[in-house]
């Protein structure tokens, strides 16, 4: 985590990034329908979906 914080602290918009991350973590921590493992899977899925929405890259191989 320190590696990410070191990178973020160099950015002009660092507080908005930190606040956004805190908000996402709080929402997941408060979700009683998911266990800890499912919360981590939710973050992974959200990252994949956001990556696709922003860059249209899915990571899936095309056949």
Q: Give per-residue pLDDT as tens, 28-48.
A: 999 999 999 999 999 999 999
Residue 58 token pair:
């899915």
Q: Distance between alpha carbon 32 and the CA centroid of its chain, in Å?
A: 19
- Torsion over CA of 23, 21, 15 and 59, rounded to 10 degrees? -140
Residue 62 token pair:
């095309």
Give the percent of the chain with pLDDT over 90. Answer: 86
Long-range contacts of 51-56 (CB under 8 A, 24+ apart): none
Residue 16 token pair:
């908005």
Contacts of 45 (CB under 8 A, 6+ apart): none
Whole-structure pTM value: 0.78
């Amino acid at each position: 985590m320190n590696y990410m914080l070191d990178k973020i602290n160099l950015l002009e918009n660092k507080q908005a990034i930190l606040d956004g991350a805190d908000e996402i973590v709080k929402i997941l921590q408060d979700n009683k329908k998911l266990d800890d493992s499912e919360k981590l899977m939710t973050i992974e899925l959200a990252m994949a979906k956001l990556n696709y929405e922003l860059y249209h890259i899915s990571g899936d191989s095309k056949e």
